[in-house]
Amino acid sequence: MLHVWQQRNTWLEDRLSNLTVSGSDLNPRGPYDQQIRRHDLLEGLPGDLYDYIIMDPPYPGLANGQYSVSPNDLANMNQHNWSQAMRSIALDFYTQQPSSGRCTVIIPNNRNLVTGHRDLFPDVVRSIFRDAGYQLYDTTYASRRTQQKQGRRMAILNNQARRARVPMTEISEVLTFIKASPELA
């Protein structure tokens, strides 16, 4: 997610690009772990109002157990519980933003290469945020860079996808919502 933020000059209007950034994660890790505070979004946002919120949630079915064993970790939830948690988070975001506040959610589809089942998470997120009172402001696309990781594992995945006739994607949708005025929500 921080990579997308660092490239904000390519997708964000100039007047919004000089914001104070505050990061939180249930399990901070990686090169930015010292800049990210530990926080569970299911307990609400820490602090007061946020003009802009960027969220790159883990999604069910692909990252189970990867970040923690906590039942509050979105990565460990089934699709129903994940959707319920995202509803709670979206409603909290709405109450924590001023009028015309924005929220960007970075989310890919998920494809099961064995069964061919597809989870269209961007559509789920659109519905959840609209129900919370947001309007879709913009949609862009970002590479997850999975195909850049050449090696045995990627070759196996590509061959499985080809055999199952399931197109793989490494693209995430970058959905930006704007807080609708109460009379439109």
- Dihedrals phi, psi of 103, to nearest 5 degrees: -140, 130
Higher-scoring residue by pLDDT: 136, 68: 136
Report yes or no on 132 lying in a domain: yes
**Separation between Cα atoms, residue 9 and residue 66, nearest integer Å:** 31
pLDDT score, position 139: 93
Residue, of 89 and 172, whose pLDDT is higher = 89
Instruction: State yes or no: pLDDT of 63 exceeds 60.
Output: yes
Q: Are 62 and 26 in contact (CB under 8 A)?
A: no
Of the two residues 84 and 3, the one the predictor is more confident about is 84
Average pLDDT of the chain, as a whole number = 79
Looking at the domain assignment, is residue 74 inside a domain? yes
pTM of the predicted model as reported, rounded to 2 decimal places: 0.76
Number of domains observed in the structure of the chain: 1
Q: What is the pLDDT of residue 81?
A: 92
Query: Does position 80 have pLDDT exceeding 70, yes or no?
Result: yes
Spatial distance between the Cα atoms of 85 and 88, rounded to a whole number of angstroms? 5
In a domain, 162, yes or no: yes
Percent of the chain with pLDDT over 70: 65
pLDDT at position 87: 97
Domain limits for position 61: 2-179
Note whether residue 184 is domain-resident.
no
Checking if the pLDDT of 160 tops 80, the result is no
Once rounded to an integer, what is the mean pLDDT over residues 27-56? 80
Distance CA 150, CA 158 (A): 11
Q: What is the pLDDT of residue 147?
A: 52
Q: Is 19 in contact with 28 (CB distance < 8 Å)?
A: no
Domain for residue 108, yes or no?
A: yes
Q: Which two structure tokens, joined as six digits, stand for 72?
A: 């509050």
**63 in a domain, yes or no?**
yes
- The CA–CA distances, whole Å, from 8 to 43, 106, 110, 142, 172 equal 28, 13, 25, 12, 16
pLDDT at 17: 61
Quick check: is 113 in a domain?
Answer: yes
